[in-house]
Structure 1
Amino acid sequence: MMKYLQKIGKSLMLPVAVLPAAGILYGIGYWIDPSGWGANSVLAAFFIKAASAIIDQIPILFAIGVSVGMAKDHDGTSALAGLVSFLMITTLLSSGAVAMYKGVDVSEVPAAFSKISNAFIGILAGVIGSSCYNRFKDTKLPDWLAFFSGKRCVAIVTAGASIITAAILYFVWPLIFAALVAFGTAIIGLGPVGSGIYAMLNRALIPLGLHHALNAVFWFDTAGINDLGLFWSGADGAVKGVTGQYMTGFFPVMMFGLPAGALAMYHTAKDTKKKEAAALLMAGALASFFTGITEPLEFAFMFMAPGLYLVHAALTGVSAIICTLLPFRIGFNFSAGLVDWILSFKAPMAVNPWILIPIGLVFGVIYYVIFRIVILKFDLKTPGRADDEEEDEGAVLANDDFTSIASLVLAGLGGKENIKELDYCATRIRAEINDYTQVDEKAIKKAGVAGIIRPSKTTVQVIVGPKVQFVHDELKKML
C-alpha cells in the first residue's frame, strides 16, 4: 500500500511541473498592474487570466498527470481515461445533479458537493484511469466487438468504473469532506502553531511520498482553504495578512536554511571526501535556493542521517510559526525558491516580501550551527563522512554524457533482463527489479549519481538530480 501511495506522489510531479508557468504569468500581470490586479490594464488582465487558466484547473491537471504517471507505459490513452473519469464523477456529483436525485432545491444540497471538483477527486480519477488502462489495454473482444478491443475499450471501462465510484462517493464524499474541513479548521484554529504543524508534517512525509495529499488540503480548494490559489488571485475568501500563511514559512528554509545545512555538511566532511561532497551538496543547495526543489539535497542525507532529517522537519515547523506571527506573506506556484519569491512581490496577498532577507539569514545561521553540532555530536554519516571506500570512477553528470551514465546505471541494475519496470520522478530513476542480488551499487555509483535507495527487495531508486529525464530516456532506449 505504501509503495502504491509513493507512486501516486511521484505521478503528481508531472502536473505540479506546470505550475511555474502560472507563476510567471501571474508575476508579469501583477507587476504591470499591482493595484488593480488586471482591472486597470488589458495587458495585465491578459496575463493574469492566462495564469488562472492553469491554477483554476488544478484538479483536471492532477487527473491527467496521475493517470499518465501511473500507467505502465505512460500512454496518452491513460490520460484520456483519467479525464473521462474526472468529468463523469464531477458531473454526476455536481450540486445540480444531486439536487435532481434528491428532488430538492440546489440550496438544500450539502456543501460538500459544491466542492466536488477538487484536487482529491482529480487524484482519484487519475488512479481510476490508470488502473483501468493497465488492466484492460490488451483486452481482446469477440470479432463483432473487435473495434473496441485493446486501448479503445479503456475509456469505456473507465466510464463504468467511474459511475460506480460516483455512486459510492454520493454517500461517502460528504463524510470525507467533513473530515478534511474539520482537520483544516482545527489547524487554522491553532493559528501559528497550526502552520508549524502543517509545515513540519509536509517535510516529514516526503520520504513516504504522502506530502502531496496533505498539500491538497491546505494549498488547493479541497477543504475550502485554497491558500495557493487565493494568494495569487485575490479572489473572494482571500484575507490580506492571512492568506499565504501555509506557504511563507518554507522560503527561509529552502532559500537559506537548507543551503546553510549543506555548508555545514561540507565543513564536517572528511578532508579526503570534501571535493566529492562539495559536488553533491553544491548542486542540491543551488537547486533549493533558486527553484525550491529540495529533493536532491534532502535525499543526500535523509536516509544516511534520519535524525538530522527530523531536525530539518522540526526547524521547518519553527520557521512557519515565526513567519505566521510576523506581518509577512509570500507565496509560490512551484516551490519556495528565489524565482517564486521575486514573482510574488506584486501578488495581491503579498505582505512585506523583503522581510524574507533578515529572517532567511537568521535561519541560515541556525541551520548551520545546529546541523554542525548534531553531525559532530552524533557522528552522523552525512555526505563525505561515510566510511572510506574505493574512489568511484566513470561518467559524471556534469559532462552531460547521458548515454554513458545510462549504460553504467543499467549494468549496475543487473541488465535489461533484471528490470521489470522503469520510471522516474523529479530527481530519481525508479526501477522494479526481478532479482535484488543482481544489483551492484558500486557499479551504479560509478555513473556519478547522488545516491541509491532500496526501499524493498524489488525496488531500486537511483538519485540522479534535475537531469533525471535525460538519463531515463537513454535507459528506455536501451531497454
Structure 2
Amino acid sequence: MKKIQAKIQTFAGAMMVPIVLLVLVGFYVGIGSAFTNYILPEGTFLYKLFTMISNLGFLFMNNLQLWFAVAIAFTLAKKEKGWAAFAGLIMFFCYTKGIEGWASLSGWTPETTSVDALMAAGYSQLDALNFNALWSESLGIFSYNMGIFSGIICGLLAAWVHNRLVDTQFPNMFAFFAGAKFVIIVVSLVSIPAAIATYYIWPYIASALQSLTSFISASGLFGTWLFGTMDKALLPFGIHHLIAFPIEYSQVGGTMTIDGVVYEGVRNIINGQAASADATGYLIRNFTSGRILFQLAGLPGATLAMYHCAKPENRKKVAALLVPAVFTLMIVGVSEPIEYTFLFVAPLLYWLVYAPLCGLCYVVAELAKISINGHALFFMIPNLFQPQKVHAMALLWLLPLTFVVYYFAFKFVICKFNLKTPGRGDSEIKLMSKKEYQAAKNGPQGADAVSASNSDKLEVRIIEALGGKDNILNVTCCATRLRVTLKDESLAVPDDVWKGELEALGVVHAQESLQIIYGVRVQNITTSVKDILGMD
C-alpha cells in the first residue's frame, strides 16, 4: 500500500505543474475581458491590446489537455526531462490524431456527428445530443471530447515509455536512434494501440463520468459537504488534487453554454462568465467559495485559538510561527503551513474537527449564494474590474461567524483533550542545535567533519539529512512540499530533526520516499537542491 501511495502522490504532484497557467487564465480573461466589454471603445489600441491578453487566457484554458500531457511527462521522468516533455507532446498529437483516423474509418467525422446528421440517420434527439457531446475539435484535430483526461493519459504513457527506454543502447550503426530518441519513436508507435483502445473504451468512461456528474448534482448540499471534507481529508496524503481537478476542469464539474461556447468544469465556466459581457454573476455551486471562509476567517480563528492555548512563555514563539503563515494563507491561499502545525501533533483535531468544518464552509457559501471569482485575496483582483458579477455581501457576516466558530471549536477541543498544539509543550517549538542534529545523524565525529564544510546552507543540510547525494534518486516539488525518492529511507534523519533543525513544517512518509513540507518557498529550495545534486 505504501508503494501505491507513493506513486499516487508523485502523480498528484505532477498534476500541480500546469497550475501556473490556470492562475493566469483567471487574470488574463477576467481583467482583459473587463476592459474590452465595459471600459474601452472597440477599435482603439488599448482595446486590441487587452483583447490579446484575454485571448492568451483562452489559449491556456482551451488547451489544458496539451499542458497536462507535457507537464506530467517531464515531471514523472527520472532523467532527461526535456526529452520526456517532447515525448509527451508527440504522444498527445499522435494519440488524438489516431483517434480521429480510426473514427473516420468507422464513418465518424465532424459532419456525420452533427445533431442534424445523426437525427437524419435515425437517432432520437436525446441520443443525437448525447453522441454529439462525445466529440470535439481541438488544435485542428477531430477527436473525443476528453478534456484533461487525454492529456493525463498521454503524459502517463510518455513517462512510462521514457523511464523504461531512455537508457536503451544500440550498436554503433544505429546509435543515433538510441536513448531518448528511441523513446520518441516508441511513443509514436504506442499511440496507435492506445488510440484504438480509447476509441472503443472512452464512450463507457464518458457515460460513467456523466453518471458521476448526475450524482454530484443530485446529492445537493451533501455532495458539496462531502467534496469539501474529502478535499481536506486527503491533503496529508498529497492526493487531494485528484478529486478537485476533474470537478474544476472537466465535465465532471458540469457544463454550461456561454455565448454559444460550451465550457466544462466549474473553473472554466467561471472564466467563461468572466469573459462574457452578458453574464450577470459567477457560478454559485463552484466548489471553491467555501475556501474563502476558512482561509480568510476559519484558519485565522484556529491560529488564535492555538495561540491562546499555548503556555504564556511560549506565545511569542507561537506567534512568530503562525502569523507569517496566516499572511501567506490570506494572500495566496496556501493553507498547508498552518494545517501542518497541528496535523502532526493532533491528527484527530485535523480529521474529526477541521476537515468536517471545511466541508461545512462549502455548504454555507452555497446556501448564501456567494458568487465570486477567486478564493484568496491575490486571486480576487479580477473582481475589482467586474464588480457587477460578484454577489458576496453575505461574506460580511459569514467571515466573522466562521472566525468565531473555528476559534471556539479549536480552543474547546485543544483544552478538553489536552492536545499538544504548538506552545503547549517545550519540544514542539524548540529548535534542535546544529551540533545535536549532526550528532543524531552521524555521531560526534560526523558532526565535526560536516561542520568543516559549507553546512550552513539549508539545501546542503537537506541533502545530508536525506542520506547524502548517493541516496537520492529523484527530487520534485508541488506547491508546498519537497518530494524526494530515496534508495534507502532509513538513512534519512528522524522527523523531529526535519522540524527542529531543518525548518520543515512536517514530513509525510511513503515507501522509499519523503514529502517534506516547506510551504510556498519550496520551489526555490527544490531548485537549489537540484543544482547542488546536478539534476536537470
Report what 2:60 is aligned to. Answer: 54
Say if 1:74 and 1:307 are closer, same or farther in 2 by CA, change over 3 A: farther
Distance (Å, rounded) in 1 between the aligned partners of 2:198 and 2:39 = 41
Distance (Å, rounded) in 2 between the aligned partners of 1:409 and 1:37 = 52
Distance (Å, rounded) in 1 between the aligned partners of 2:409 and 2:335 = 19
Which stretch of the first structure deviates more once superposed, 454-463 or 181-190?
454-463
Distance (Å, rounded) in 1 between the aligned partners of 2:500 and 2:80 = 29
Q: Give, as a single letter, the amino acid of the residue that structure 2 aligns with 1:418.
A: N
Q: Give, as a single letter, the amino acid of the residue that structure 1 aligns with 2:82.
A: G
Whether 2:315 is the aligned partner of 1:274: answer yes
Aligned counterpart in structure 1 of residue 196 of structure 2, from 167, 173, 176: 167
What aligned pairs does 1:82-93 form with structure 2 within 5 A after superposition? 82-93=88-99
Say if 1:71 and 1:103 are closer, same or farther in 2 by CA, change over 3 A: closer
Say if 1:99 and 1:381 are closer, same or farther in 2 by CA, change over 3 A: farther
Say if 1:74 and 1:152 are closer, same or farther in 2 by CA, change over 3 A: closer
Report what 1:206 is aligned to. Answer: 235
> What is the deviation of 1:45?
2.7
Report what 1:324 is aligned to. Answer: 366
> What is the deviation of 1:403?
6.5
For 1:462, what is the secondary structure of its paired residue?
strand
Say if 1:82 and 1:36 are closer, same or farther in 2 by CA, change over 3 A: farther
Report what 2:446 is aligned to. Answer: none
> What is the deviation of 1:69?
1.2
Whether 2:63 is the aligned partner of 1:21: answer no
Distance (Å, rounded) in 1 between the aligned partners of 2:321 and 2:152 = 33
Aligned counterpart in structure 2 of residue 376 of structure 1, from 407, 412, 415: 415
Report what 1:337 is aligned to. Answer: 376
Check the 8 A contact 2:133/2:145 in 1, yes or no: no
Report what 1:358 is aligned to. Answer: 397
Distance (Å, rounded) in 1 between the aligned partners of 2:159 and 2:174 = 23
Number of aligned positions between the proteins: 470
> What is the deviation of 1:291?
0.5
Distance (Å, rounded) in 2 between the aligned partners of 1:239 and 1:194 = 26
Q: Give, as a single letter, the amino acid of the residue that structure 2 aligns with 1:55.
A: M
Distance (Å, rounded) in 2 between the aligned partners of 1:79 and 1:39 = 40
> What is the deviation of 1:11?
1.3
Check the 8 A contact 1:38/1:44 in 2, yes or no: no
For 2:106, what is the secondary structure of its paired residue?
helix
Q: Give, as a single letter, the amino acid of the residue that structure 2 aligns with 1:315.
A: L
Report what 1:9 is aligned to. Answer: 12
> What is the deviation of 1:6?
0.9
Distance (Å, rounded) in 2 between the aligned partners of 1:282 and 1:296 = 11
Distance (Å, rounded) in 2 between the aligned partners of 1:453 and 1:299 = 9
Report what 1:398 is aligned to. Answer: none
Distance (Å, rounded) in 2 between the aligned partners of 1:93 and 1:164 = 10
Q: Give, as a single letter, the amino acid of the residue that structure 1 aligns with 2:113.
A: V
Q: Give, as a single letter, the amino acid of the residue that structure 2 aligns with 1:253.
A: F
> What is the deviation of 1:292?
0.9
Report what 1:432 is aligned to. Answer: 485
For 1:426, what is the secondary structure of its paired residue?
coil
Check the 8 A contact 1:329/1:349 in 2, yes or no: no
Aligned counterpart in structure 2 of residue 64 of structure 1, from 54, 63, 70: 70
Q: Deviation per CA, 1:202-254: give whole Å up to 9, x if none.
A: 22222233322222332113434411111122279989464552222221112
Say if 1:381 and 1:160 are closer, same or farther in 2 by CA, change over 3 A: farther
TM-score (norm 2): 0.79
Say if 1:394 and 1:222 are closer, same or farther in 2 by CA, change over 3 A: farther
Whether 2:342 is the aligned partner of 1:313: answer no
Report what 1:249 is aligned to. Answer: 290
Distance (Å, rounded) in 1 between the aligned partners of 2:80 and 2:338 = 28
Distance (Å, rounded) in 2 between the aligned partners of 1:270 and 1:71 = 47
For 1:384, what is the secondary structure of its paired residue?
coil
TM-score (norm 1): 0.88
Check the 8 A contact 2:5/2:510 in 1, yes or no: no
Which stretch of the first structure deviates more once superposed, 149-158 or 302-311?
302-311
Aligned counterpart in structure 1 of residue 505 of structure 2, from 451, 460, 463: 451
Check the 8 A contact 1:140/1:150 in 2, yes or no: yes
> What is the deviation of 1:349?
9.1
Check the 8 A contact 1:192/1:322 in 2, yes or no: no
Report what 1:227 is aligned to. Answer: 266
> What is the deviation of 1:447?
4.0
For 1:255, what is the secondary structure of its paired residue?
helix
What aligned pairs does 1:386-397 form with structure 2 within 5 A after superposition? 388=427, 391-393=431-433
Which stretch of the first structure deviates more once superposed, 406-415 or 99-108?
99-108
Q: Deviation per CA, 1:153-193: give whole Å up to 9, x if none.
A: 11221122222222222222112121122112211123333
Aligned counterpart in structure 2 of residue 197 of structure 1, from 217, 226, 243: 226
Report what 2:122 is aligned to. Answer: none
Say if 1:477 and 1:210 are closer, same or farther in 2 by CA, change over 3 A: closer
Aligned counterpart in structure 2 of residue 75 of structure 1, from 58, 77, 81: 81
Whether 2:210 is the aligned partner of 1:181: answer yes
Say if 1:394 and 1:60 are closer, same or farther in 2 by CA, change over 3 A: farther
Aligned counterpart in structure 2 of residue 422 of structure 1, from 453, 468, 475: 475
Whether 2:112 is the aligned partner of 1:112: answer no
Identity of aligned residues (%): 29
Q: Give, as a single letter, the amino acid of the residue that structure 1 aligns with 2:395.
A: L
Say if 1:36 and 1:60 are closer, same or farther in 2 by CA, change over 3 A: farther
* Structure 1 gaps, min length 5: 396-400
Distance (Å, rounded) in 1 between the aligned partners of 2:73 and 2:518 = 24
Q: Give, as a single letter, the amino acid of the residue that structure 2 aligns with 1:313.
A: A
Report what 2:103 is aligned to. Answer: 98
> What is the deviation of 1:74?
6.2
Which stretch of the first structure deviates more once superposed, 64-73 or 469-478?
469-478
Say if 1:239 and 1:321 are closer, same or farther in 2 by CA, change over 3 A: farther
Check the 8 A contact 1:30/1:44 in 2, yes or no: yes
> What is the deviation of 1:366?
1.3
Say if 1:220 and 1:74 are closer, same or farther in 2 by CA, change over 3 A: farther
Check the 8 A contact 1:262/1:281 in 2, yes or no: yes
For 2:18, what is the secondary structure of its paired residue?
helix
Check the 8 A contact 1:232/1:347 in 2, yes or no: no
Q: Give, as a single letter, the amino acid of the residue that structure 2 aligns with 1:71.
A: A
Structure with greater Cα Rg: 2
Distance (Å, rounded) in 1 between the aligned partners of 2:337 and 2:80 = 24
Distance (Å, rounded) in 1 between the aligned partners of 2:455 and 2:57 = 34
